[in-house]
Amino acid sequence: MIEVRNLSKEFEDHLVLNNISATFHKGIVNMIIGKSGSGKTVFLKCMVGLIRPTSGEILYEGRNLLTMKTKEVKRLRREMGMLFQGSALFDSKTVLENVMFPLDMFSRMNKKERQKRAEFCLERVNLLDAAHLYPSEISGGMMKRAAIARAIALNPKYLFCDEPNSGLDPQTSQLIDELLASITKEFEITSVIVTHDMNSVMNIGEHIVFLNEGVKEWEGPKEQLKDADSEAVKKFIFASDVFKKK
C-alpha cells in the first residue's frame, strides 16, 4: 500500500500539484486519471522519488520515501517497476538486453536463467519476435510493450505506468490492460496506472484518483465514478464514448 499525504509541487512559482492526499492499495489496479496537463506525470514521478515534492509525505507500507536513507531508497526501488510515458528504453541495447538489464543488475540468476526470464516477459507482451532489434528499429507501440516487459522483469511489488496504452491500437491496448490487471492480481502488486483512456478505466480500473489542474477532485472505487458529485469528473467521463454506447 502506498499513501500520499498533502503532496504539493511547485515549479518556479507555478503550483503543479496542490495538497494531494490519496491511497493506492495492494493487489488492485489503482488509476490516476485526468486531462492532459493536469499533473499526472509529475504526481507519478513524485511518488517514485524522481521529482522532489515541495512538501508532503509518500508512505510505502508506512515508511516515508522522502526521509529514507539512500540505501533504503535503493532497496525499495529494486521492488519498483516503472513504465515511462516515452518508454525510456536504453537505445544502445537490444529489446532483449533492455529486458534483461534489471536482472543483470540485481538478480542472482545465471545468464541462461536471466535470458529465459526476459524471453518469458517478452512473450507476455507479444514481442518475442523483436527481441534482437534495437529500440530505433521498432514502432512506438512495440517500445511501450518492451518497456512493460522490462518493468515486470524483476517481479516488482510496486508497478507504475504512465499511459501504458497511449499510441496503441485498441486490440493491443486491451491486451496490455489485461496483462497489467492479471499480473497485479497474480503477484499482489500495488499498481498505479496513469491514463486518460476511459476504456482502460472501465476495463481494469478498480480504485480511481481523479486529478484536475493539480487538485485531487475525486477518489473512490470505479463503480461510483459515474455518480461522482463533481462537474470536472462528469465532463471528463462523458466526453469519452464509453458511456454513450451503453
Ligand X SMILES: Nc1ncnc2c1ncn2[C@@H]1O[C@H](COP(=O)(O)OP(=O)(O)OP(=O)(O)O)[C@@H](O)[C@H]1O
- Interface residues with other proteins (CB under 8 A) are 45, 48, 50, 73-78, 80, 82, 84, 86, 88-91, 101-102, 104-106, 160
Choose from Mg ion, ligand X, other proteins, none: what does 216 bind? Cβ within 5-8 Å by kind: none
- Grid-cell match 496506472, residue found: 193
Judged by CB under 5 A, does residue 41 bind Mg ion? Answer: yes
Residue from 4, 30, 40, 148 binding ligand X (CB under 6 A): 40
Supply the minimum distance, in Å, between the C-beta of residue 185 and other proteins.
Answer: 23
Supply the minimum distance, in Å, between the C-beta of residue 40 and ligand X.
Answer: 3
Supply the minimum distance, in Å, between the C-beta of residue 218 and other proteins.
Answer: 28
Which of these, 97, 50, 35, 82, lies nearest to 180 by C-alpha position?
82
Choose from other proteins, ligand X, Mg ion, none: what does 243 bind? Cβ within 5-8 Å by kind: none
- Closer by beta carbon to ligand X, 100 or else 193: 193
3-state secondary structure the chain: CEEEEEEEEEECCEEEEEEEEEEECCCCEEEEECCCCCCHHHHHHHHHCCCCCCEEEEEECCEEHHHCCHHHHHHHHCCEEEECCCCCCCCCCCHHHHHHHHHHHHCCCCHHHHHHHHHHHHHHCCCHHHCCCCHHHCCHHHHHHHHHHHHHCCCCCEEEEECCCCCCCHHHHHHHHHHHHHHHHHCCCEEEEEECCHHHHHHHCCEEEEEECCEEEEEEEHHHHHHCCCHHHHHHHHHCCHHHHC
Q: Site map for ligand X, 222-241, x if CB under 6 A?
A: --------------------
Which of these, 210, 17, 38, 25, lies nearest to 7 by C-alpha position?
17
Residue from 7, 20, 28, 42 binding ligand X (CB under 6 A): 42
Judged by CB under 6 A, does residue 209 bind ligand X? Answer: no
Choose from ligand X, other proteins, Mg ion, none: what does 221 bind? Cβ within 5-8 Å by kind: none
Q: Site map for ligand X, 162-201, x if CB under 6 A?
A: ----------------------------------x-----
Residues of this chain that bind Mg ion (CB under 5 A): 41, 85
Residues of this chain that bind ligand X (CB under 6 A): 11, 14, 16, 34, 36-42, 85, 196
